[in-house]
Structure 1
Amino acid sequence: MATTTDHPSPASRRLAADLASLGAEFADRHSVTLESVLAILRSPQLTDQAARSMAIDVAASALVGLRTQTDEQRNAILEPVVGAFARLRSDLRPLVRFGELDVQFVEPPATGRALPGEVAHAARAIVRTAVLAFVDAGEARRVRIQWDCDGLNLLVRIRDDGRGDLSVHDDAMRPIGERVAALDGDVEVASTPGWGSEVRITLPLDPPSLDEPLEDQAGISARERDVLRLVVDGRTNQEIGGTLGISVNTVKFHVSNLLQKIGARNRAELAARAR
């Protein structure tokens, strides 16, 4: 008797990719929340009772946001650049208020083009990652954050007054570089010893037009192409191995190569970019 195997629909696969992106967004936002709570509890400006009360308020607010933001982000196709920047300021407000880092915000122009949700999420995550790195390093005392939009790209500038030895190859820049690369953007770092560093990021607002399939652009082998198509179909490693007659470890090897060649962070993003 013939049997059929149900595979995820394109809509289901898109939803899975969106949820993966949303999970990364939540992780970044709530890392900032935890740093903010610690800054409040350690603040010499507050009594113990006031610090506990403020920490509870911040944690409660984050919990409410966790419960409501999923639906908001899923439904938001575009975000006005001013609104996206205001959300970033809101994310960082407790850390700015009670931490030792002086964060200055330069507002984007109100006439700037609306941002695709993925670009807005990535830009906020990039800035949060950079600010947390400055907090951990404990060297910079002032950070200046600026957004602008030239109609085709979101321009993000982050400048600190640290030692001025930051490089695009530093470990602190790796997660930022990965996020920028996932959106086909560019990242540059300009440092002046003793005067600080400036991170310059350009994020395209429109997806690139491809003249050839992604598989051809990335130099993917015939076997990797077979694995990629099954990943796009939502198959597990075991299912892919059974279909192609190869071991699960071999499938994992091919998937790892595909992630590196295409510049994806996980299987969901790999499938989304391939589609």
Structure 2
Amino acid sequence: MPELPEVETSRRGIAPHIVGETLLYAVVRHPQLRWPVSEEITQLSDEPVISLERRAKYLLLGLRHGWIIIHLGMSGRLRILSEEKAPEKHDHVDLVFSNGKILRYTDPRRFGAWLWETDLTQSRVLRHLGPEPLSDTFNAAWLMQKSATKKIAVKPWIMDNKLVVGVGNIYASESLFQAGIHPDRTASGLTQQESERLVTSIKTVLQRSIEQGGTTLRDFLQSDGKPGYFAQQLNVYGRAGEPCLQCGTLIISGRHAQRSTFWCPHCQH
């Protein structure tokens, strides 16, 4: 599943091609994704594109009277086409712009979303989300306040979007490693110093991944068709049985909330 850095990478790649242009019309070939594609999208015409923003793993395309909310789901991908190209089986949505560019949405599993909203504060998919991980709102004080009564393991807790958005499975393992915190630790047991380290690690790992283009996942390509690069620099994720890059101890794997977890038993306590 594309995570926050992949979505942010897509946003940065797409925005220069469409912001300031006019959305001429939308083509919806398959209206049933995770939810039905909003009918308002199919009716858009001659709409100036004001902005392309990101909230958590959602892309927000700002128009005059509302927003197109896009989620890539499990396998969705956005590409910019410079000319008309015959759609393939899994090309479900096109947005056609005044400069001749086409934003094409491809999704083999059809678990993504294309929704319309006139007021983002009322959006059912956005209103319950926690702070952005790279914002000042997400800090050690926030983490300790929210974790004080949580008797669950810290790994699945930092993946909860009500605590902080965008810390996916890969980035949770990598952040805990960088912070020196064992993924089985109880969230309420984090000290002030550990909370500060963990917040710093989350921000560092995500920012580095954004700068390097996102992780290389099987189903993910950037808007220019190139894979991301961050997977080449992972410290623990996917490295079970291999030596830790810091101490040489073999990396261990386990599961939290049905998700694979990787850690170094020597470096993380």
TM-score between the two structures when normalised by the length of structure 1: 0.25
Which structure shows the bigger proportion of residues in helix conformation? 1
Structure 1 or 2, whichever has the larger Rg, is 1
Select the structure that is richer in strand: 2
